[in-house]
C-alpha cells in the first residue's frame, strides 16, 4: 500500500464516528497534527480532507484524497507518513474496535513475488491495512469496499 493510501486510511479512521465518540486525547492530538500537516503543506487537498471527514466510510473519497496527495508529491513525504502511522498505531492501541472490521491485514511481511489483493468487502471498518511490506514483485490492491455499518430499521 503506497504512503498516500495509508494517509487517506488514517484520515478516514481518525474522522470516523467510533473514534470521535470514544476519543482519547492522544488520538485527537495525533489526528489534529495529521490534518494540520495535510492542509498546510498540501493546500490543494483541503477539500478532499473535509469531504472524507464528512463521509469517512466512503471508499471513493479515500481514493480521491490518495490520488490528489500523490499528484502533489506526498508519496515521498516521510513526516506525513510518520504522522499517519502514529495515528493508526494510537487507534489500534487505544481504540482497537474503531475500525471494527478489517478485510485484510498484512504486517511485517517479506514476499518473494507479487501480491494481489482484490474483491474485499467489509462493513464498519477498513478493507485493507498493510504495514512494513517488502515484495520483490508488485503489490496490487483492487476492488476494495469498506462501508459504514447500517443500523437496523426501527419497527
Q: What is the pLDDT of residues 38-97, one digit of tens each?
A: 999 999 999 999 998 888 777 788 889 989 999 999 988 999 989 988 888 887 777 666
> What sign for the dihedral angle of Cα 145, 149, 152, 153?
negative
CA distance 129 to 57: 15
Does some domain include residue 36? yes
How far the first Cα of the chain sits from its last, in Å, is 42
Tally of CB atoms within 10 A around 84: 28
Does some domain include residue 54? yes
Q: For residue 33, what pLDDT is reported?
A: 94
Does some domain include residue 80? yes
Does some domain include residue 139? yes
Does some domain include residue 24? yes
* 150: confidence class by pLDDT, cuts 50, 70, 90: very low
Domain span at residue 112 reads 3-147
Q: For residue 93, what pLDDT is reported?
A: 77
Does some domain include residue 155? no
What mean pLDDT do residues 140-153 have? 62
> Does residue 105 surpass a pLDDT of 90?
no
Q: For residue 9, what pLDDT is reported?
A: 77
Rounded-to-10 torsion of CA 130, 3, 78, 9: -80
Percentage of the residues of the chain whose pLDDT score is greater than 90 = 21
Percentage of the residues of the chain whose pLDDT score is greater than 70 = 68
Does some domain include residue 46? yes
Q: How many structural domains does the chain have?
A: 1
Rounded-to-10 torsion of CA 11, 16, 19, 23: 80
Does some domain include residue 152? no
Q: Which residues pair with residue 66 across a beta bridge?
A: none
* 155: confidence class by pLDDT, cuts 50, 70, 90: very low
The C-alpha cell of 52 is what?
472524507
Amino acid at each position: 500500500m503506497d504512503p498516500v493510501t495509508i494517509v487517506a486510511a488514517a484520515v478516514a479512521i481518525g474522522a470516523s464516528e467510533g473514534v470521535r465518540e470514544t476519543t482519547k486525547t492522544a488520538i485527537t492530538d495525533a489526528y489534529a497534527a495529521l490534518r494540520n500537516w495535510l492542509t498546510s503543506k498540501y493546500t490543494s487537498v483541503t477539500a478532499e480532507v473535509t469531504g472524507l471527514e464528512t463521509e469517512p466510510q466512503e471508499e471513493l473519497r479515500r481514493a480521491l484524497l490518495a490520488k490528489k496527495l500523490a499528484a502533489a508529491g506526498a508519496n515521498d513525504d516521510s513526516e506525513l507518513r510518520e504522522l499517519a502511522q502514529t495515528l493508526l498505531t494510537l487507534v489500534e492501541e487505544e481504540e482497537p474496535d474503531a475500525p471494527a472490521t478489517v478485510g485484510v491485514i498484512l504486517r511485517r511481511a517479506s514476499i518473494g513475488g507479487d501480491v494481489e489483493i482484490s474483491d474485499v468487502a467489509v462493513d464498519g471498518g477498513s478493507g485493507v491495512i498493510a504495514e512494513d511490506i517488502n515484495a520483490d514483485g508488485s503489490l496490487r490492491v483492487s476492488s476494495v469496499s469498506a462501508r459504514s455499518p447500517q443500523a437496523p430499521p426501527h419497527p
